[in-house]
Amino acid sequence: MSATLETAPVARPQIRRNQLLINGEWCDSVRGETFATYHPATEEKITDVAQANAEDVDRAVKAARRAFEEGEWHDMDARDRGALLLKLADLIEQNIVELAALETLDNGKPIIDALNADLPLVIDCLRYYAGWADKIKGDTIPVRGNYFCYTRREPVGVVGQIIPWNFPALMVAWKWGPALAAGCTIVMKPAEQTPLSCLRMAELAMEAGFPPGVINVVCGFGETGAAIVAHSDVDKVAFTGSTEVGQIIMRDAAQTLKRVTLELGGKSPNVVFADCDIEAAVQGAEFGLFFNQGQCCCAGSRVFVEESIHSDFVERLVDRAKNRQLGDPFSPATAQGPQVDKDQFEKIMGYIERGKSSGADCRTGGGRWGDKGFFVEPTVFDNVTDDMDIATDEIFGPVMSVLPFREFDEVIERSNKTFYGLAAAVWTRDIAKAHSLAAKVKAGTVWVNCYDVFDAAAPFGGFKMSGIGRELGEAALANYTELKTVTMSLD
């Protein structure tokens, strides 16, 4: 499915859409406000994008409500909703190079990743949920007395979806797929750093034939997101982003008792036992942390290494980190691009300084790369202790902490010593040890002898402060449906 990468750099894409999509029409915001989006590798402005305020959000919610309650979408057979999702997936596939290039331009991620990871996962996710559209069903329930009782799974209604900038197109697919399969209508807010691929996907959705108002896109900052959360006619909010904003959203949603699902941060343990395939584990640790410039909620940012292989492991890891190729993300040779923006860059550099001053050994990296763009050197800290900021906080950058350990029970306890609980991994040849860790670690996803293996069918989400609810798989359909019980007298 993935396009083969040419050896020449991929051309910068043309920007086709920079307005809001409300009720099937592209429009400016009511006040005519805009904001700029930048290419993080060069810090150049790409374009201005319409910025929605509460009034624009209200227009979008009204359009979504109308589309939900009446008209073509409301009356559509589930199988036809699935067909529309398939059509959208096909159109994305036909435009995969353009969409991947938009992703690289707006986010800064290497074109090889956008083309070979993000976009194929987008297409797969939409096709997976297309298949669910006509398979969402209730049960017949045996009850006392002469009654016929059954349940229906109905769409929850108008859903607000607020997404981050680390996987801009993929987050659109994770949110749209289950919501549209269930029959909901959408008001989406992409991240202010990366609205462009979402707008292009919305344009393709219109081309696929989704009726006006089913998918609305309002661009803007946190205030635009807050206006969605505050709106009394939005039935549900799905959010991916920082734990801090997740807390605000949960609190604000209480006002109208909206359904809320949250996919938040992490500080995931990646546990390497001495009996593992060491080269595979080194590669897994590198990929698990440095992929996407370290900007992954499930990044394996605490690498626990058993003491007996610790120095060998770190040598190999440092070697690999040093060999990562940084540069123009449009070049197919580039493995690591810039961080998404100045705020993220500065946050990461701040953590690197704190890591150095707290006494951890900075074995490689530790500085800015180049003099233009938000590039950070791949950085490995060794001999990190559990209490250091670099071991407790989500850095969201290419900064790895290596923590030596001795015992199985000790590493379980230390792995779980965090507010987060999104993901974990274990590297070992001992099956019992792997299953035992998988059972004892408090995390929504556990990878054994692999990392960052995602599939549209496999649920993903967090324990503890990493979130509420699950995305992907059959589990995500529960986020977008209400359960209704119908009881009928048979007398």
Exactly one of 133, 229, 272, 403 binds ligand NAI (CB under 6 A); which one?
A: 229
The type of residue at 221 is F
- Binding flag, residue 354, ligand NAI (CB under 6 A): no
Residue 168 beta carbon to ligand NAI: minimum distance, rounded to whole angstroms: 10
- Binding flag, residue 245, ligand NAI (CB under 6 A): yes
Q: If 0-12 CB within 10 Å is exposed, 13-18 middle and 19+ buried, where does residue 250 land?
A: middle
- Binding flag, residue 468, ligand NAI (CB under 6 A): no
The site for ligand NAI, by CB under 6 A, has a size of 26
For 326, half-sphere exposure in the C-beta direction (CA atoms, 13 angstrom radius) is 23
Task: Report whether 231 contacts 160 (CB < 8 A).
Answer: yes
- Binding flag, residue 297, ligand NAI (CB under 6 A): yes
Q: Tell me the window of 119-127, 138-146, 161-169, 443-451 that interacts with ligand NAI (CB under 6 A).
A: 161-169
Query: Which H or E element spans position 151?
Result: strand 147-155
- Binding flag, residue 465, ligand NAI (CB under 6 A): no
Dist. CA 416–CA 269, nearest whole Å? 8
Dist. CA 365–CA 323, nearest whole Å? 11
- Binding flag, residue 332, ligand NAI (CB under 6 A): no
Q: Single out the catalytic residue among 297, 306, 394, 471.
A: 297
Dist. CA 382–CA 364, nearest whole Å? 10
Contacts of residue 382, Cβ cutoff 8 Å, sequence gap at least 6: 314, 360, 361, 363, 402
Q: Single out the catalytic residue among 103, 263, 306, 394.
A: 263
Q: Is 388 helix (H, G, I), strand (E, B) or coil?
A: coil
DSSP letter string over 254-314? TTTT-EEEEE-----EEEE-TTS-HHHHHHHHHHHHHGGGG--TT---EEEEEGGGHHHHH
Exactly one of 99, 264, 472, 476 binds ligand NAI (CB under 6 A); which one?
A: 264
Kindly tell me which of 157 and 265 has the beta carbon lying closer to ligand NAI.
265
Exactly one of 226, 335, 352, 403 binds ligand NAI (CB under 6 A); which one?
A: 226
- Binding flag, residue 398, ligand NAI (CB under 6 A): no
Token pair, residue 447, equals 């990878």
Ramachandran angles phi, psi of 404, nearest 5°: -70, 150
Exactly one of 37, 107, 166, 418 binds ligand NAI (CB under 6 A); which one?
A: 166
For 56, half-sphere exposure in the C-beta direction (CA atoms, 13 angstrom radius) is 29
Q: Is 296 a catalytic residue?
A: no
Q: How far is CA 320 from CA 179, 281, 287, 364, 379, in A?
A: 41, 12, 10, 10, 11
Exactly one of 37, 344, 418, 481 binds ligand NAI (CB under 6 A); which one?
A: 344
Kindly tell me which of 265 and 284 has the beta carbon lying closer to ligand NAI.
265
The type of residue at 112 is I
Q: Tell me the window of 29-37, 110-118, 236-244, 365-373 that interacts with ligand NAI (CB under 6 A).
A: 236-244
Number of continuous H segments (helices) and E segments (strands) in the chain: 16, 20
Considering only residues 173 to 212 of the shown chain, the ones binding ligand NAI according to CB under 6 A are 189, 191-192
Q: What is the dihedral of CA 452, 457, 461, 463, to 10 degrees?
A: -100
Kindly tell me which of 347 and 440 has the beta carbon lying closer to ligand NAI.
347
- Binding flag, residue 240, ligand NAI (CB under 6 A): yes
Token pair, residue 343, equals 């705020």
Exactly one of 273, 396, 420, 451 binds ligand NAI (CB under 6 A); which one?
A: 396
Considering only residues 32 to 91 of the shown chain, the ones binding ligand NAI according to CB under 6 A are none
- Binding flag, residue 421, ligand NAI (CB under 6 A): no
Dist. CA 214–CA 428, nearest whole Å? 47
- Binding flag, residue 267, ligand NAI (CB under 6 A): no
Kindly tell me which of 221 and 454 has the beta carbon lying closer to ligand NAI.
221
Query: Which H or E element spans position 303?
Result: strand 302-306
Kindly tell me which of 136 and 249 has the beta carbon lying closer to ligand NAI.
249
Measure CA of the first residue to CA of the last residue in the chain; give whole Å.
57
Kindly tell me which of 21 and 411 has the beta carbon lying closer to ligand NAI.
21
- Binding flag, residue 265, ligand NAI (CB under 6 A): yes
Distance from chain centroid for Cα 252: 22
For 257: left if phi > 0, alpha if psi spans -120 to 50, otherwise beta; the answer is left
- Binding flag, residue 236, ligand NAI (CB under 6 A): no
Exactly one of 58, 93, 106, 394 binds ligand NAI (CB under 6 A); which one?
A: 394
Q: Is 401 helix (H, G, I), strand (E, B) or coil?
A: strand
- Binding flag, residue 225, ligand NAI (CB under 6 A): yes
Kindly tell me which of 175 and 200 has the beta carbon lying closer to ligand NAI.
175
Q: Is 93 a catalytic residue?
A: no
Exactly one of 249, 318, 360, 391 binds ligand NAI (CB under 6 A); which one?
A: 249
- Binding flag, residue 221, ligand NAI (CB under 6 A): yes
Give residues in contact with ligand NAI (CB under 6 A): 162-164, 166, 189, 191-192, 221-222, 225-226, 229, 240-242, 245, 248-249, 263-265, 297, 344, 347, 394, 396
Which sequence positions are flagged as catalytic? 263, 297
